[in-house]
A and B are shown apart, each in its own frame.
Chain A
Amino acid sequence: MSKFTKKKGSELPPVNTASLPDIVFMLLFFFMTVTVMKDSSLMVENVLPNASEVKKLEKKDRVLYVYVGTPTRDYQKVFGTEPRIQLNDKFAQVSEVGDFILAERAKKPQELQNVLTTALKVDKNANMGLIADIKQELRKVNALKINYTTYEGDAFRNVQ
């Protein structure tokens, strides 16, 4: 008879947490796959200007980055306060831009080599002279597709 008079536990049974590691692992793998490690640390000031008519830069593997700006405080003693070009992890002269593009292009798979975009991440306080020189270098190596990377926002805030 004791089968039917089950002793009733006074407290709730504990929640089963056996599947918690599985859930966490699932999340872990998600973030592991979408993570893009920062490949270069910025050595220049890089406050981009605002623009409203922007297009998204899809597909990161097809983009080469060129940074321009005044060196950050740690580097100002060595490199001065004039805007400089940063390619990957080092400062560069204008004449090195072409070689850099060619070298980076050669690293990409064959089918992507013709569809590369050069993203110019230029500080808003840089002068156009340097940009014009870079553009001239890019034309020399036939890297004609460029993107002036900006923040999305009201363009008139740039000039205030």
Chain B
Amino acid sequence: MSRRGGPPEVNAGSMADIAFLLLIFFLVTTTIETDAGLDRMLPPIDPPDEEQVVIKQKNIFTVNINKNGQLLVEEELTNLKDLRKKAITFLDNGGDGTCNYCKGRKDAASSDNPTKAIISLKNDRETKYATYITVQNELVGAYNELRNREAQRLYGRNFTQMESEYLNPETPSNIRDGLKDKVQKVQELFPQKLSEAETSSSK
């Protein structure tokens, strides 16, 4: 007796089950979330040859963190919550009157111009990392707040929003090019000058 209609069909009913099994495996192992954090640039180890620039003391905003997490801001014991406000007052001061967008008090004893103002951060070797991050966060926040203000004035939107759109690789390149100039313009108004000294060891 000869078989009719060729070889019998393979039963594919369990294919869906197998595919489901694989699907569930990949679903479980997938991590789509991206990390976020504070971006920082370290200073190069041997600075390019340039003459020592003398920085006036009044243009430096010193922040010291001791091993117990206490803050010494401009030789004054300060609460962490007041740091942002103090940093903004310092950056936005515009002491020599050359800064036409500053809204500070124009105090002659504080910083001359936001482009000259430097924040110097110093910490102890035993400072907790969490405290350090909080301080960093507040200082970056101070810059962001001022940049947001200027971006609102010039372009009617927030700097942080513009920057994240600019950095997002999914933004179309024509929009990105337009944003690039704006982002740089605002960054130049309040350049982030955050210097970190070597950590001191406590005795």
Contacts and interface: CB of A to CB of B under 8 A. Distances in A.
Given A35-B30, A49-B129, A149 B124 contact: no
Contact of A144 (B34, B41, B129, B131): B41
Interface stretch (B2-10, B90-98, B136-144): B136-144
A52 B160 CA distance: 12
B135 to A, nearest CB: 9
A80 to B, nearest CB: 17
Nearest to A36: B31
A158 interface: yes
A125 B128 CA distance: 6
A155 B126 contact: no
A129 B125 contact: yes
B162 to A, nearest CB: 13
A159 B129 contact: no
Given A28-B26, A127-B126, A145 B41 contact: yes
Contacts of B43: 139, 144
B80 interface: yes
Contacts of A27: 23
A139 B44 contact: yes
Given A21-B16, A24-B16, A131 B129 contact: yes
B134 interface: yes
B187 to A, nearest CB: 14
Given A58-B167, A58-B168, A119-B37, A35 B129 contact: no
Interface residues of A, number: 59
A123 B12 CA distance: 51
Interface string B1-45: 000000000001001100110110011011110111111111111
A129 to B, nearest CB: 3
A128 B199 contact: yes
B134 A49 contact: yes
B37 A57 contact: yes
Interface string A96-109: 00000000000000
Nearest to A138: B42
Given A31-B26, A129-B125, A155 B36 contact: no
A125 B127 CA distance: 9
A57 B23 CA distance: 28
A53 B42 contact: no
B201 interface: yes
Contact of A128 (B38, B128, B167, B168): B128
A35 B134 contact: no
Interface string A16-32: 01001100110110011
A113 interface: no
Interface in B124-170: 124-134, 136-138, 140-141, 144, 160, 163-164, 167-169
Given A57-B37, A145-B42, 11 more contacts: A21-B12, A31-B23, A51-B137, A55-B163, A55-B164, A56-B34, A119-B35, A139-B42, A142-B45, A149-B37, A159-B80
Interface of B: 12, 15-16, 19-20, 22-23, 26-27, 29-32, 34-45, 69, 80-81, 123-134, 136-138, 140-141, 144, 160, 163-164, 167-169, 198-199, 201
9 contacts: A52-B141, A53-B144, A54-B36, A55-B39, A55-B167, A126-B128, A127-B125, A150-B133, A159-B131
| 8 A-B pairs with least C-beta separation | A129-B125, A31-B26, A158-B130, A124-B130, A149-B37, A54-B36, A155-B137, A24-B19
